[in-house]
Structure 1
Amino acid sequence: MDLFGNNTEWTKNLEPILTKYKGRKHPLEYHNLYQLMVMVVLSAQDSDANINKIAPALFEAYPNMDSLAVSNSEALIPYISKVRNFGTKAKWLLEIAQTIQKDEKIPLTMEDLVALKGIGRKSANVIMREAKVPAQGIIADLHVIRVAPRIGLIQETKDGIKAEKMLMQVLPREIWGEIGMAISFLGREICRPQPKCPECPINSICAFYKKIKG
């Protein structure tokens, strides 16, 4: 038993968003695993929309891991200069490419992904979810960090690692792969900083909605 309720109960309560968003592709407009990994690294503290904008020219110049592995910061930076912290991210990407070398060697376990520069648990969870491998955690992006406490699923925190840990304690492993992205999509579309509560498919179980309805 946990602080927030029964696991089975939460699975049932969250079923409407699991169904609504099941399998929906991440908003980063990638076309293969290599592109996804690069874009996930670039998107830290930046918007998916911005990364989508710079991606076509970047991938025309660097179509695969091999081409990135033999490049350098000076050549790479012009393609990512509109991205936040581009200097650091250029170093991370070059180091990742030099470590991995080939697209087919991109790792798909939590342990191997977080060992790479610029990839934390959130990024690793996104990569694993999109690659459709069994989840070893739950995506806890800024939308999830905002929405999960609002629903009443976890306590409030600004720390993604803590949020993920609490979610993993509350939710059964069989929904880990999809629930993070489902909550994230809900946060992007409906449960925004100014939420559209009447439109929400899970408003009947939401702590925030119950409170505002009095």
Structure 2
Amino acid sequence: MLKKDRYKAFVEYFSTHNPDAQTELHYSNPYELLVAVILSAQCTDKRINQVTPALFERFPDAETLAASNPEEVFTYIRSVSYPNNKSKHLVGMAQKLIGDFQGVVPEKIEDLIKLPGVGRKTANVISSVVYHRPAMAVDTHVFRVSNRLGLTSNATTPLAVEKQLIKYLPEETIAVAHHWLILHGRYICVARRPKCELCPITYFCKYFEKNYKATAIQPATNPND
């Protein structure tokens, strides 16, 4: 199958079966999403959603967070990964948000990455989810699934994956495609043993073609056929 055909099948399937895919992080405004995404690095969304209610109650906006200190913030996020570093990042982020952006979460990637704790992946999440820009955040799920499906090739870095996905995906689908890839990687195309026997898109999956072609597992059929 040609790459363009894989992209076509990918978009057609998920546009039909999960057109409104969204982040599983709980938030009610851009500030809360920014905090949640910073916390979610190398941690599960489930854990972050357990932590953020109390955190947001104590620090409902950038002003209150900026006026705090890492030691206090730590007491609210001690159960997440790397709480010491993330406590420092959150306070620094809030202080810079107040000092440089009047407390408003910026829209542009180049501005977002100036904030402590915000790398390109986090910046792309905010840009796409909050501002609906065609930005592709590449985390471990996106990296793994796009490679297994055959949407990317010879892409050994997150930036290389990001560039290939943006190049081939229709612009209007880029933001939601980020969630398609994450959710598929989280529940079906898991890291250690992908659940190919349950996967509905093996009919265009390069990994399945390579590893299961001669087995008893049959590829899923194209629902558009």
Instruction: Report TM bin, short chain.
Output: 0.7 to 0.9
- SS of 2:3 mapped into structure 1: coil
Q: Normalising by structure 1, report the TM-score.
A: 0.87
Displacement of 1:156 after TM fit?
5.8
Displacement of 1:41 after TM fit?
0.5
Task: Establish whether residue 18 from structure 1 lines up as the match of residue 15 from structure 2.
Answer: yes
**1:152–1:54 distance in 2 versus 1, CA, 3 Å:** same
Name 2:220's counterpart in structure 1. Answer: none
Taking the aligned partners of 1:72 and 1:49, their CA distance within structure 2 comes to 25
Q: Deviations over 1:65-120 (max 9, x none)?
A: 11111111122111111122212111111111111128861112212111211111
Displacement of 1:174 after TM fit?
2.9
Matches within 5 A, 1:1-214: 5-6=3-4, 9-14=5-10, 15-101=12-98, 105-135=104-134, 137-155=135-153, 159-193=157-191, 194-211=193-210, 212-214=212-214
Question: Contact 1:16 / 1:201 at 8 angstroms: preserved in 2?
Answer: no
How many pairs does the alignment contain?
208
- SS of 1:108 mapped into structure 2: coil
Paired residue type of 2:104? K
Over aligned residues, Cα RMSD in angstroms? 2.1
Paired residue type of 2:32? Q
- SS of 1:199 mapped into structure 2: coil
Taking the aligned partners of 2:19 and 2:163, their CA distance within structure 1 comes to 22
Runs of 4+ in 1 over 6 A off after TM superposition: none
Name 2:219's counterpart in structure 1. Answer: none
Tell me the percent identity. Answer: 37
Displacement of 1:55 after TM fit?
0.9
Taking the aligned partners of 1:22 and 1:104, their CA distance within structure 2 comes to 32
Question: Contact 2:51 / 2:77 at 8 angstroms: preserved in 1?
Answer: yes
Taking the aligned partners of 1:151 and 1:11, their CA distance within structure 2 comes to 9
Paired residue type of 2:128? R
Question: Contact 2:24 / 2:45 at 8 angstroms: preserved in 1?
Answer: yes
Taking the aligned partners of 2:154 and 2:145, their CA distance within structure 1 comes to 9
5+ residue gaps in structure 1? none
Question: Contact 2:6 / 2:204 at 8 angstroms: preserved in 1?
Answer: no
Paired residue type of 2:138? A
**1:83–1:103 distance in 2 versus 1, CA, 3 Å:** farther
5+ residue gaps in structure 2? 215-225
Q: Normalising by structure 2, report the TM-score.
A: 0.83
Taking the aligned partners of 2:95 and 2:184, their CA distance within structure 1 comes to 37
Pick 1 or 2: higher relative contact order, CA cutoff 8 A, min separation 6: 1
Paired residue type of 1:177? A
